């Protein structure tokens, strides 16, 4: 069955002005994260001298705590609205991020990391719920995509700036960097505080006409969410795709490129730059491709692109010199093109299922897929590549993303046309 003609696209400048202000807050936050995100491991292990294994446990603890706290974050969003949850979370994260520069012992590292997770756990689900309620249905994917583009642009610019000022021999350079990161969160807080009260809160339905029959819905709860079999299918396939896709971007890719393909570690910088460049340059074009087409098709296409990208990266082991480097760079660039499809469509398909009074819970459950993937993905990469089985690792990442693509196509029969992105049929 062919897809209907795409509906007219709402221009970004026609969106609610509050959305533009949120974009500004996202950009500040992403810039701050870009300043520090690539260097947390380096800071703890190389600058503060904490054992590598202990640093690994700190990262693992952050993932486990985030998984456990996500349901609480989703419930708070549905009860109090996304705006207060975001403000409180950003205050906690600003203070704790600035405090990273004071960490000297493993105990302090665990403590600060724990509070950072508590502050972060509700931010992305709350922001997604807020954007969903501020834009019309046909503009959601476009807004999610632009937000993702701003995120990557901020991360890329922040990473470049921080690489120019970081000195592993100077604790002070890292302390200044983390303090600056904390200040960027304050800019985001100012944006949220100045938004009108009730922004992003659940809309109040109009009074029904006299004599109208209003169906009674089951009270919002997590039991309702976990009984949504279609949502659980989406979450399960997303875990598969993220585990063998996104979650392999750092640990698995770096280990394969440096240990197996034997390319210089500094060449990874070019590869990650290609990835960010593909996202920033390709996101708006991808949004045109997505418009009016089935979400399941776009997610399947994402899985297929990622599967091909891993094949290109695996080719680096069969060649030498600059050709191997080019394979890694090209592979991550292709991966970025897949990301431009996943970022706008994945939250749109989840919010297409969500009841208005449970958007926080639905987005929190989808957010937990990232947590599971970030735990299982690096662990599997370390186990396979670290024990001399790079070929099995390649088979897993290529096969896992390809299988996810097939499963997303099969998901179509469980969705209505409107839930699958054909807005014209809604």
| Structure confidence by residue, pLDDT tens digits, 42-69 | 788 878 888 877 887 887 788 888 888 9
HSE-CB of 330 using CA atoms within 13 angstroms? 13
pLDDT exceeds 50 at position 321: yes
pLDDT exceeds 80 at position 143: yes
| Percent residues over pLDDT 70 in the chain | 92
27-31, 85-89, 202-206, 313-317: which has the minimum mean pLDDT?
202-206
Say yes or no: 309 and 260 in one domain. yes
Say yes or no: 169 and 242 in one domain. no
| pLDDT tens digits, one per residue of 78-137 | 999 999 999 999 999 999 999 998 999 999 999 998 999 888 888 889 999 999 999 888
- pLDDT value, residue 7: 41
**Rg of the chain, C-alpha, whole Å:** 22
Note down the domain range covering 43: 13-193
State the CATH number of the domain containing residue 142: 1.20.1250.20
- Assess contact for 371 and 67: CB atoms under 8 A: yes
- pLDDT value, residue 12: 66
Instruction: Say how many domains are in the chain.
Output: 2
Q: Which of 107, 106, 108 is nearest to 96 (CA)?
A: 108
Residue labelled with tokens 């609610």: 16
Say yes or no: 234 and 93 in one domain. no
Characterize 382-402 residue by residue with b for buried, 16 or more Cβ atoms within 10 angstroms of its Cβ, and e for exposed: eebbeeeebeebbebbbebbb
State the average pLDDT over residues 195-217: 62
- pLDDT value, residue 425: 41
- Assess contact for 407 and 247: CB atoms under 8 A: no
pLDDT exceeds 70 at position 216: no
Say yes or no: 25 and 90 in one domain. yes
Say yes or no: 184 and 264 in one domain. no
Say yes or no: 251 and 124 in one domain. no
pLDDT exceeds 80 at position 165: no
What is the full DSSP assignment across 221-269? -HHHHHT-HHHHHHHHHHHHHHHTTGGGTTHHHHHIIIIIS---TTHHH
Query: Using CA atoms, how far apart are residues 260 and 354, in angstroms rounded to an integer?
Result: 44
Report the phi/psi class of residue 67: left, alpha or beta, with left for phi > 0 and alpha for psi in -120 to 50: alpha
- Assess contact for 145 and 283: CB atoms under 8 A: yes
422: phi then psi, degrees, rounded to nearest 5? -85, 80
State the average pLDDT over residues 213-224: 73
Query: Using CA atoms, how far apart are residues 325 and 126, in angstroms rounded to an integer?
Result: 39
Characterize 183-216 residue by residue with b for buried, 16 or more Cβ atoms within 10 angstroms of its Cβ, and e for exposed: ebbebbbebbeebeeebbebeeeeeeeeeeeeee
Domain final residue, candidates 152, 178, 193: 193
Say yes or no: 264 and 119 in one domain. no
Which stretch, 133-147, 257-271, 322-336, has highest mean pLDDT? 322-336
- pLDDT value, residue 213: 44
Say yes or no: 71 and 32 in one domain. yes
The reply to whether 417 falls in a domain is yes
The reply to whether 216 falls in a domain is no
Other residues' Cβ atoms within 10 Å of the Cβ of residue 10: 16
Predicted model pTM: 0.83
């Amino acid at each position: 069955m062919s897809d209907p003609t795409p509906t007219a696209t709402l221009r970004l400048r026609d969106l609610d002005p509050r959305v533009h202000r949120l974009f500004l807050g996202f950009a500040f936050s992403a810039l701050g994260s870009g300043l520090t995100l690539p260097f947390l491991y380096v800071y703890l292990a190389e600058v503060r001298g904490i054992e590598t294994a202990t640093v690994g446990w700190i990262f693992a603890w952050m993932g486990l705590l985030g998984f456990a706290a996500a349901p609480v974050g989703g419930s708070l969003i549905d009860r109090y609205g996304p705006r207060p949850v975001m403000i409180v979370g950003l205050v906690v994260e600003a203070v704790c991020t600035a405090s990273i520069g004071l960490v000297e012992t493993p105990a302090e590292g665990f403590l600060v990391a724990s509070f950072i997770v508590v502050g972060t756990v509700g931010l992305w689900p709350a922001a997604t719920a807020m954007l969903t309620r501020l834009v019309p249905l046909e503009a959601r994917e476009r807004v999610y995509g632009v937000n993702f583009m701003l995120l990557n642009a901020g991360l890329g610019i922040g990473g470049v700036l921080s690489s120019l000022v970081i000195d592993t021999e100077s604790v002070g350079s890292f302390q200044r960097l983390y303090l600056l990161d904390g200040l960027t969160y304050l800019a985001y807080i100012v944006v949220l505080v100045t938004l009108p009260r009730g922004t992003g809160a659940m809309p109040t339905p109009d009074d029904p006409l006299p004599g109208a029959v209003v169906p009674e819905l089951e009270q919002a709860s997590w039991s309702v969410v976990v009984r949504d079999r279609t949502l659980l299918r989406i979450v399960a396939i997303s875990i598969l795709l993220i585990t063998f896709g996104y979650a392999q971007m750092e640990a698995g890719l770096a280990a394969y490129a440096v240990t197996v393909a034997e390319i210089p570690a500094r060449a990874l910088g070019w590869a990650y730059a290609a990835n960010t460049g593909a996202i920033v340059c390709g996101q708006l074009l991808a949004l045109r491709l997505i418009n009016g087409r089935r979400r399941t098709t776009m997610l399947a296409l994402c899985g297929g692109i990622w599967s091909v990208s891993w094949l290109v990266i695996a080719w680096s082991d069969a060649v030498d010199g600059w050709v191997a480097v080019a394979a890694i760079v090209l592979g991550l660039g292709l991966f970025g093109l897949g990301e431009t499809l996943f970022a706008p469509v994945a939250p749109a398909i989840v919010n297409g299922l969500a009841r208005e009074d449970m958007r926080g819970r639905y987005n929190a459950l989808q957010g937990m897929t990232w947590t599971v993937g970030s735990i299982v993905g690096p662990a599997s990469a370390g186990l396979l590549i670290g024990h001399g089985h790079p070929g099995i690792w390649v088979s897993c990442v290529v096969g896992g993303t390809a299988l996810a693509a097939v499963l997303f196509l099969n998901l179509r029969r469980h969705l209505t046309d409107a839930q699958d992105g054909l807005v014209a049929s809604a």
